Amino acid sequence: MFANLPSPLWLRYNYVMRSTRHVVPSGTEKDLGHYSDPPLLVLASLASGPKHGHAMIEDIAGLSGTRLGPGTLYGAITRLEARGFIEALPPEERRRPYRITATGARVLRARLATLRQFVDAGTKRLKYV
């Protein structure tokens, strides 16, 4: 159905559909609107302030409707920390909070701007459907 889209749009559509496929059970209206890009979701969560893992999972679920599993969350945290986009703070009891860095905030702004451009273009194209 969407294979006839121009290549860049097809790649974005394919990525979004693959990344949201198993977010909620199929056959519900909810599975049509979820977005799952774990590093982007972690950055967005930390943009409102430092959080530990469980707090991020809950915040992301409220923000996007996507509930990340611990393996997915900590894999994203590891990659973001290695790139300098987030940093660990001193432990609080048994929890390790993280915060977004200035570089991470710039990356988040840039990615959100790209998504905004994509949403605008996709929304305009819907008038032809």
Summarised one tens digit per residue, pLDDT across range 76-121 is 999 999 999 999 999 999 899 999 999 999 999 999 999 999 999 9
Written as one letter, the residue type at 107 is V
Q: Please tell me the distance from the alpha carbon of residue 90 to that of residue 96, in angstroms, as a whole number.
A: 7
Give the number of other Cβ atoms within 10 Å of residue 69's Cβ.
10
pLDDT value for 24 = 44
Delineate the domains of the chain, giving CATH numbers in brackets: 36-126 (1.10.10.10)
What six digits make up the tokens of 101?
A: 């860095």
Q: Please tell me the distance from the alpha carbon of residue 129 to that of residue 126, in angstroms, as a whole number.
A: 5
Q: Please tell me the distance from the alpha carbon of residue 84 to that of residue 45, in angstroms, as a whole number.
A: 16
This prediction has a pTM of 0.74
For residue range 50-76, list pLDDT tens digits in order: 999 999 999 999 999 899 999 999 999
